[in-house]
Amino acid sequence: MDNLQLEINFSERRNRFRDALNAGEFVLLVENSSPGRDNDPAASADRLAALENAVLDIKGINASLAITDRCHTVDVWRAAEYASALSAENRDRHVIYLSGRDTTLNETRNLIDIAANAGNCNIVPASGSVIPGDSVRESRKRTFTESIEILQELASHPYGFFSGATVNPYQYTGWSLMGQYFKLVKKLNSGASFLVTQAGWDMLKLQSLRWYLTGRSLFYPMIARLILLTPEKVERILAGEYPGISISHDFQRILEKELHYSNTQFEAAQYRRLELQAAGCRLLGFSGIQLAGVEQPGKAKIAAERIVNALREFTDFDHWLEEYNSYLARTEMAPFSSSFYLYDRTLRRPYPENDRPIANELDDPMVSGAEKLGYNLRKFLFVHADRQKADHQRLFKKLFAGCRSCDVCRLPATSFVCTENCPKRLANGPCGGVKPNGNCEITNSECIHCKVVRLADWAGELPKLEDHILPPGIRRIL
């Protein structure tokens, strides 16, 4: 009887955020970060309540909050805890994030239970960003519960969460881009029902992601994360304090020119840029935007009003494209001249002309002779390693694959590269903090997972990279 009652309650629970996406409404998520634990809890709750009231009062667009978790800082309230200050009757309208950084599997399960008990049903997991300034050794000491593992926990929970996935489409080598896409497919297969992109300004990259998913017949609601820039935020992005977010040299020059005129001119330019991005996202088939940088109620209302006006102004793609070309397209958003785009680099139409868009070929993977020799040797030695005990041939694995005494061996599924060498120990693909050139945010050398994709491309084994969801090499549960 108890199980039956639970099933009935779960099936009847409303979720207005999910319903809005399913109904094709264009939504606005106003981003808010959980505060530091040194803040007065009552004052923090009052500020959140004021922002929530202001956002829910916005007219002309379906607006709600996105509460991020452990962004850029360490000692902060967890989003699942902080979100308990939201009004109980409106928690189904909001989204909360769940970071895997410094969070064991059991701690993750506890946070999921907190969210369920509070009625926060929309959750977006993220593996978590590093702390700016952390060395490789310091990063490896931290626990990162991978977003895919969190998605699996959410999918198996009886509460019935509506889960999202993150993806960073602003990658400019073929292998770093495809690494993001392959991992996104794994997330969708793990239970994600919508996706949120990393923040950026290159509309072509957003279009490429939309076209790629369309070509794969993967029709999921997509939300683009946007940032209303301030001079301080520009400085912090350029200083590398926002992993995964980059500003091209040409865009930096434009921003400096805007700031040179006056702060007022700079602010006006950012609002116009935001308007064009928001309208463009809708016309390219996105289901909404998540806006960072407007955490004060007054600023959130002003930004929302500008967005609503832009959505009314631009209802036709060609009209929007004309304004975009005159205002934004003069700025080169790609970080370097040889930047890779999966499709053509021209915003000529909102959707592919054919049922399946035609993708550009990946660049030559540039696998050196030493890499080829190492790959073939490891394949010869470890082709069945995933079916054997992890400690089988451990010495050879350490010598030829740099293995780190994993509890389970995954070499045949990762181009015979031990992904435990990732500073975050991620198993299933790159994190969102990878630099635009495919380098790791921590080591500044090639991301382990980009190397996996590059070798798989050379070996003709790209499809298998999204076939299997891999367990952690070394599990940290407690």
Structure confidence by residue, pLDDT tens digits, 405-436:
899 999 999 999 999 999 999 999 999 999 99
Residue 357 confidence (pLDDT) above 90: no
Cβ contacts of residue 163 below 8 Å, gap of 6+? 122, 123, 124, 125, 151, 154, 155, 191, 192, 193
The pLDDT of residue 4 is: 36
The confidence band for 2, taking pLDDT boundaries of 50, 70 and 90, is: very low
User: What residue spans define the domains of the chain?
Assistant: 13-327, 369-466
Structure confidence at residue 222 (pLDDT) = 99
Report residue 331 CA to chain centroid gap: 24
Q: Which residues are registered as beta bridge partners of 375? A: none
For position 476, what pLDDT does the model report?
65
CA distance 13 to 20: 15
- Cβ–Cβ < 8 Å for 385, 392: yes
pLDDT at 291: 99
Q: Which two tokens stand for residue 289?
A: 């935007």
Q: How far apart are CA 249 and CA 307, in angstroms?
A: 27
- pLDDT number for residue 206: 97
Q: What is the pLDDT of residues 298-307, one digit of tens each?
A: 999 999 999 9
Element (H, E) at 341: none
Q: Write the DSSP symbol of residue 357.
A: P
pLDDT of residue 399: 93
DSSP state of 168: -
pLDDT in the model for residue 358:
73
pLDDT digits (tens, 9 = 90+) for 367-408: 999 999 999 999 999 999 999 998 999 899 999 999 988 999
Which pTM was predicted? Answer: 0.94
Of 47-51, 57-61, 279-283, 362-366, minimum mean pLDDT range: 362-366
Position 72 scores a pLDDT of: 67
Which pLDDT score is estimated for 361?
Answer: 87
> Of 147-156, 196-205, 331-340, 352-361, which gets the smallest average pLDDT?
352-361
Class of domain 13-327: alpha beta
pLDDT at 3 > cutoff 90: no
Q: Report the 3 state secondary structure along 397-465.
A: HHHHHCCCCCCCCCHHHCCCCCHHHCCCCCCCCCCCCCCCCCECCCCCCECHHHHHHHHHHHHCCHHHH
- Determine the average pLDDT of the residues in 464-475: 88
| Cα–Cα distance, 165 to 331 (Å, whole number) | 29
Mean pLDDT of 253-270: 94
Is the Cα torsion angle 344, 348, 354, 355 positive or negative in sign? positive
> What is the pLDDT confidence band of residue 331, given thresholds at 50, 70 and 90?
confident
Distance between CA atoms of residues 61 and 45, nearest Å: 25
